[in-house]
Every structure is written in structure tokens, then in C-alpha cells.
């Protein structure tokens, strides 16, 4: 069961062990990111940082604690190469490798086309979680395709949770 907490500029939701979602508001838009553990590997999907201050410091401590606990590599995955968000800052903070659509996906996840150029959805079979970037949005708790996206192959994966990079997630 997912549990959420909000501290000023960031909302963090623990979906299950090794799968978290966090979001921040920028210019009135909810931007969301996913944290996924696969064995000793940390994956940060479409990462955004909390605003500077206590929330950012708490976030950085948590990331460093998890890197030490996991002991493996970290990856920053971008579902859309043209929308890096805070990837550079997270790469600098963690020493992570960068993944963009078109390259081989890191261990533990699969990349799936969305029907839109330069974009991919990230699938974690172990967590039954789909991170579709902006290809799927959640309206009324239900994933719906964004204009031009081919949702059928993504929804055929039968995800238990959908974590888009904009707006709310599915339950």
C-alpha cells in the first residue's frame, strides 16, 4: 500500500519496498520522478530536485544513504531525451550513468516505444511498474494516452502502478 508525505516543496510516496515516487511543483505543474531499486542498482527516472533548503538536503542525504546501502551503480533514466530536468545535478550528486531512449536499458528494466519520436517508457517487471514519461497521463486514477502516443502495448504489460512524469500516478 502506498504511503505519501508532503514536506513543503516535495511530496514523497513509498509505493512498496524499492519503489518510490516523488513530485515537486514548478510553475503550477506537478513534475514527478520515480526511484526504483533492482538488486544493488539504483534507478532514478525523470528526476527533479526539491527546491533548495531543508527538503533538498533531506533528499540528498536519503539518496546517499541508499547508494551506500545498495552498494551498486546508479542510473538516471530520461524517458524523453529533450527533457533532462535535473539529470545533470543528480548525475553529479550520485556519479550515476545517464540513459536516454535508443540505448540499451540498464539491468532490471526494459525500454518500450511510445509511438512518439525520442521518447520511451520504462518498465520494471519486478515491481509491475510503468514509468511512461509523458506518453500516458493519469486522469481519475486511470492511465490515458497523451496525443500521438500508442498506449496499447504499454497497457498490455498490465502494470499495477503507472508513474507518469507529469501529474498524479495511478493507484
For the chain, percent of residues with pLDDT exceeding 70: 95
Q: What is the four-CA torsion angle of 116, 119, 124, 127, rounded to 10 degrees?
A: -80
The pLDDT, as a whole number, for residue 18 is 96
Question: What is the band of 123 on the pLDDT scale with cuts at 50, 70, 90?
Answer: very high
Whether the CB-CB separation of 11 and 23 falls below 8 Å is answered with yes
The pLDDT, as a whole number, for residue 111 is 97
For the chain, percent of residues with pLDDT exceeding 90: 73
Domains recognised in the chain with CATH numbers = 3-162 (3.60.15.10)
Q: Convert the pLDDT of each residue in 41-97 to its tens digit.
A: 999 999 999 888 878 898 999 999 999 999 999 999 999 988 888 999 999 999 999
The pLDDT, as a whole number, for residue 171 is 65
Alpha carbons 3 and 8: distance in angstroms, whole number: 17
The pLDDT, as a whole number, for residue 3 is 54
DSSP state of 95: -
The pLDDT, as a whole number, for residue 51 is 83
Alpha carbons 67 and 40: distance in angstroms, whole number: 9
Check whether 9 has a pLDDT greater than 90.
no
Check whether 149 has a pLDDT greater than 90.
yes
Check whether 142 has a pLDDT greater than 70.
yes
Alpha carbons 82 and 39: distance in angstroms, whole number: 29
Its pTM stands at 0.91
The pLDDT, as a whole number, for residue 8 is 56
Amino acid at each position: 500500500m502506498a504511503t505519501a508525505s508532503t514536506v513543503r516543496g516535495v511530496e514523497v510516496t513509498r509505493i512498496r519496498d524499492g519503489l518510490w515516487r516523488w513530485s515537486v511543483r514548478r510553475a503550477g505543474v506537478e513534475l514527478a520522478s520515480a526511484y526504483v531499486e533492482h538488486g544493488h542498482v539504483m534507478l532514478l527516472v525523470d528526476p527533479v530536485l526539491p527546491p533548495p533548503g531543508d527538503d533538498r538536503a533531506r533528499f540528498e542525504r536519503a539518496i546517499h544513504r541508499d547508494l551506500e546501502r545498495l552498494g551498486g551503480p546508479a542510473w538516471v533514466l530520461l524517458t524523453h531525451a529533450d527533457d533532462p530536468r535535473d539529470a545533470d545535478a543528480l548525475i553529479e550528486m550520485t556519479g550515476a550513468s545517464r540513459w536516454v531512449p535508443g540505448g540499451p536499458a540498464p539491468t532490471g528494466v526494459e525500454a518500450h516505444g511510445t509511438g512518439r519520436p525520442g521518447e520511451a517508457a520504462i518498465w520494471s517487471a519486478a515491481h509491475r511498474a510503468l514509468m511512461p514519461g509523458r506518453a500516458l497521463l493519469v486522469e481519475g486514477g486511470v492511465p490515458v494516452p497523451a496525443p500521438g502516443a500508442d498506449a496499447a502495448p504499454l497497457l498490455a504489460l498490465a502494470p499495477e502502478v503507472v508513474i507518469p512524469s507529469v501529474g498524479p500516478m495511478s493507484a
